[in-house]
Structure formats: C-alpha cells, structure tokens
Chains A and B, each alone.
Chain A
Amino acid sequence: MSEYIWPYANELEKVTRDTCDVLVLGGGLAGCFAAVSAAERGKKVILIEKGAVKRSGSAGTGMDHWESACTNPCSLVTPEEIASAYVDEQDHYSNGIFHYITCREGWDRMLDMEKFGGKIRDTGDEFKGAEFRDDATKLMFAYDYRNRFTLRVWGSTFKPALYKELLRLGVKIYEHTEATALLTKEINGRKRGIGAVGMNVHTGGLLVVSARATVLAMSRPARIWLFDSDLPGLCEFRPFQSIGSGHAMGYRIGMEFTMMEKSVRGEFSAAGRSFPPYGTGNNHNTWYAATMVDSRGVEIPYLDRDGNILQTVSQRYYPAEGQKFFLKGGVIDEPKYEYRGPETMPFDELIRRGYRLPFYADLSRMPEAERRVIWGMMVGEEGKTKIPVLQYYTERGFDPEKHILQSYGSGWQSASFLDQERQLFGAPGGIMHDWNLKTNIDGIYAAGDQLFGSDCGGAACATGHYAGRKAADCAEGYELHEADEAQIAEEKDRLYAAIYRNDGMNWKQLNKAISKAMQNYCGGVKNRDLLMQGIDLLESYREEAVPQLYAENPHDLMRTHEVLDILEVSDMILHACLFRESSSKPLCFVRSDYPETDPPEDRRFITVRRENGRAVRGSVPLDYFGDLKSEYEKHNQDYIGGGKE
C-alpha cells in the first residue's frame, strides 16, 4: 500500500460540459493573447491549460528579447524589410505570414503588455544614458543599436500580467487540464472543429467543450529523439510537458502539417548533456555580445562580416559599412552575408591560431552598462534565468566583475551533440495555414510555436492575438454543435485505458524506446529502408506496448497520454521524411538514397496529413503567401481601420 495519500478529488468518469464562442488550447503567451483578443471582441472564451497560466509555457518565468517589433517609435526598419529578410535568410522555407504579423503587430502587442502591467521600458532609469537605451521613450534595444527593432524587455512580468488580464476580461480558465482531442463534425461536406476534450491531470475528470471556433496554441513536439529516464525534465529546451500534443491532436483529425522532415542536431539542454540554458559562457542571444577569452585570458576577436577585427565593444552592435541592418536572434545561426552581423572569429580559425580551450565569457572587461544589462537584466528576465542562473550563481559566489564563466562543447555552445540526437528547433515544421492563421480544418486556427517555421516570444504574442481575432470573426457566423457522443466515448476509453489496468509498462519505457527508434531510423542520414523500418517499429509499439501502458494516478496518466502523442508525432515525422525524395540544406535533411540537394522541382513545401488512417502527401509552393504587405492589408482592413495603426 502506498504511504502517500492522493490529495485531489477522484473524478474518474465524471464529465463536465461547457460551451463557448472561442476555445483556446494552451495558455502560454500565444494562447493568452488569443484569449484576450477574442474576449476583447465580446466573445465568450474558454482557455484550457495543462499547467497554471500564471507561469506556464516557454516564457512562463520570462523572456528577455522582443524580436522584430519593427513599428516601435525608434525603429529605422520597416516590417516589409525584416519579414522579407527572414524569408530570404531561410531560403524561402519560411513562414512569411508568421514573420510579417510579428514585424507588423509586435509593437502593438508590447503596448498591450504594458497596459496589462508588463514592463517594457526602463521606468526606473537603471540604464539612463546607455548606448542601447532611448532616453525619451526609455525603451532598450538589443543586437542592432542603430536600427533598434529588437527590444530588451522584463519578461518575468509578462505571464502574471496576462493572467490578470484574462481574469479581468472574464475568460474562463480550466487549469491543470490537458487538452487531448479535437472534436469534429462534417458540415456542408467539410470537416469542422466543434470543440475539444480534456482531462484534469489532478482528478482525472473529463471536460468536453463545445465551441464555435478553436485556437490551437500548444507549442511544438519534443522528446522525439531525446529522452533521459532519470531526468526527463532536462531532455529538451522547452517546458517538460510541452511535447506537441496539439500536433498529435491535429494529425488525428486530418490537419495538414509542413516541414516536419526538418530536424536539427541538438543545440540546447538535451538529455542531460548540457547545462542550465544561458548559464554557461557564451556570446549569443541573452549574452550577445559578451567578451570571450580563452584559457590563457587572451581575448577572442569579434569580426565584421568582411573579416575585419572590431576594435571596440560598441562596434559589435552596429551594421557593417554599407549594410542597412543585420539579423540576430533565436533562429539566426550562420546568416547569409547580406544579413550577417558582428561575430567572434570562427572556431576552427581560433584553434588554428593557437587559442586554447576552454573559453570563457568575461563580462569584467565590458563597459559597466553592457555588463549590467547582460548579467542582471537579460540573465534574469530570460525564461529560466532569474532563479536558476542569476540567483543560483550569485549565491555560489559568481560576480561578473570578478569572475569568468566557462563555455562547453566546441567553443561556446553548452554541449556537443551527436548527429542522431535531434530536435525540432530553429524554426521547425508545424501547422500549415492561410493568411487567417486558419488550418485546413474549418473553424480551427493556430498560433505561436504550433505554426510551421515559428519561434520566439514576441511572435507568439503577435500571432496569438491575430488568431484570436480571426477565430472571433469565425465564431460570429458559426453555430454551436453538440459533440458526437461516440467520439467522446472513444476518447474516454483511450484516455482511461492505462489507469484501469492493474499493472504494466511505465510511460518512460515507451518514451525511451521511441527516442532510440528515432535515433536509429530517423537520424542524421536517412533512407527509405530505415524510415520504413522506423514506421514498422513504431507500429509494433502501438500494437504491443500501448496496450500494456499502466498509470496509478492522473499525473502519471497525463504522462502516458503525452507519450501516446509523441508516438503519433514520431510517425508523422517519419512519413514526412519519406515524402521528401531529395536532400535539402535549409531543411537540414539528408537522404542517402536521394543525395541530390535542393533540386528545383522539390523546392516546395511538402505537407503531410492523415486521411483514413494513411499518411497523405501534399505540396504547396514556397512563397504561397504572396506579397506580404498587400496580402496582410487585404486580410486585415478591420484591424488597420480599428485605430490600431
């Protein structure tokens, strides 16, 4: 007998029913903004969140950059310039709609955030007079100090502020509730989303919501290739429970995805290999542009895009002679010459010249304001840094004026990964959508990291708000539909199967098996035989392991459901990889049986969806979104005319 008592009610078999105009699944930045904008339009909104909204999602404890807020009053660039630059930089395997919304509406969302109580300005004058600060507006900038389109923000204030606003607007929130299935109905010959099913992860009670329109904002898949049974929470960069259930739910009802064949060699926080994110010496993102030194204390030079050594710290924040702007940030790794900003000398060249590992970040050599803004503001406001890095390291005695912080891996990443240790990272695949952020399923919209080619907190806010208002418009014309009881009964059986067994296999065993299968059959180099074997193996897990899964309580049952979704998404990824019969550099995709790289006929988005139990291939031209500015304006006359611009 267990010595611990389950503290929550037992609500197995209890079904709560509710209705709304707009249902939002996922309560991170994107989901919260979707709920806010639908509620602002007078809609009855329900939000379902697996954790607790106040601190949930990738930015639950913070975000330090708001990228591409091109319409802020200090910006010298236009939304068209930056969105088009991203599309070009990503070789057009890029979500232009997503980028343009981010660039065009990001600043509006920053002002919303400020109105809700979030901090976006240096109101305390802590950095008065600093080069990265505009003293008139008190806004602070990162990366490109001339063009000023990415802002430094106090993101640890954001989620609590959004949570308060949701309550003020009367949004009904179901917390500690995992969304598990989308309900659909054939209406006028088309499949339409009419609501969703969820389960309370503390009580086991079911929730069935009927909705006129639905927004999916449930992040992206994880724990596909990377799993560690001892410390599963440290498998991946994003929150442990964000594993792509939204993708799995969508795939089960025939939703269309693209770029799912793209995965990258692990970069962050994977399976215990790395260190606390932003907690090692480096000069990227939060730490840009930290001074780096080698093991002898010799400073590592920064170069401009032409290879000229920069003489001052200030020069690291300005475009090169003749360059309009440069790109830095979440998804920018090794940009094209046109967009390349200042960077430290390439690693191989450093080794050739005798620089010695390990390297360190040395803030003590930087001007006081730059040191203080990296260590204290950016490290502090970025997610997972206030307590795990700033406070923890300070307690251990780290003083940025006196100490230097070690780098790991080959240079300043936090670890070195193997080719088969992969992640969906760096603008990976996701839901295919139109200019309304609508999916191919009528009545269902998507936002944030669930969209293909997406990344970053500011974009989550911008696309969330956008999807929320499009869903609100949709709800105007749509009736509520009663869910099909057979669909609900089937989902209930699926959800409760593991808890009604008396013993069996723990979810970790299946997750570990999936990740090993994906490393073996869907690693760095792929071919048809490997991929087919992977599909076969996963099918055998579905037949043999899934019926053995066992959970003792609703928490473990939630973990079990997550692994079922991981299995679903892994299958989608294998099929997406089969469908692309060539290799591709921008998609980080290598097929040994199709070694030709990016042949013109394959320069397309290949899509994958499930129809009658079979994976179906589709194809959409790159740049299907058309001219960004004119298409945006065509679809958003109400917003433009509503006094927002």
Chain B
Amino acid sequence: MKERQQDRRFRIAHREALIGVGLAVFNFIWWYGFAYGLGSKPPEEYSYVFGLPAWFFYSCVLGFVVMCILVIVVVKFWFVEVPLDDEPEDEGWDEQ
C-alpha cells in the first residue's frame, strides 16, 4: 500500500520537474530570440515600444509577463497537491 502511494507521489513530482524544464527552455528561446533577433541590427534602425528599444521590450518586459502568466496557468491547472510526509494523511491516496 505504502509503496504504491509513494509511486504515485513521485510520478507527480517527476512530471512537474519536466514541466519546469519545459518552461525554462521556452523562456530561454523567447528571451534569446527577441533580444538577438531584433537587437542585432544597427541602433539607428531600432523601433521602440513604450519608449524602450523593441528588442528589450519584447525580450525582457513582455517575456517576463508571459512567463508569469504561464507559471500561474501551469501551477493552477497541472500541479497536484500531495502530502509531503510519509504517513498517509487521507486514505484517498491508496485507492486507484
């Protein structure tokens, strides 16, 4: 009984760790893509958003907002609450 409960908790933990890796990869691509995609042309040709250079706005400001929203969505919809102590807190975990 106990083993099965732990398996289930660890499966959840492993999935959430993979989600973390996925988010970090996405974050890096967004950050790198906008910064060096838009920022590598000469400064005279830059366009501006809210007064900031467009590469910076999309990469760092918008990118940050997008990551916050993603983290909220991921945590609210995919993260599962599990007991952290080894003694089962409610019997529901042993079913299934």
Chain B associates with chain A:
no
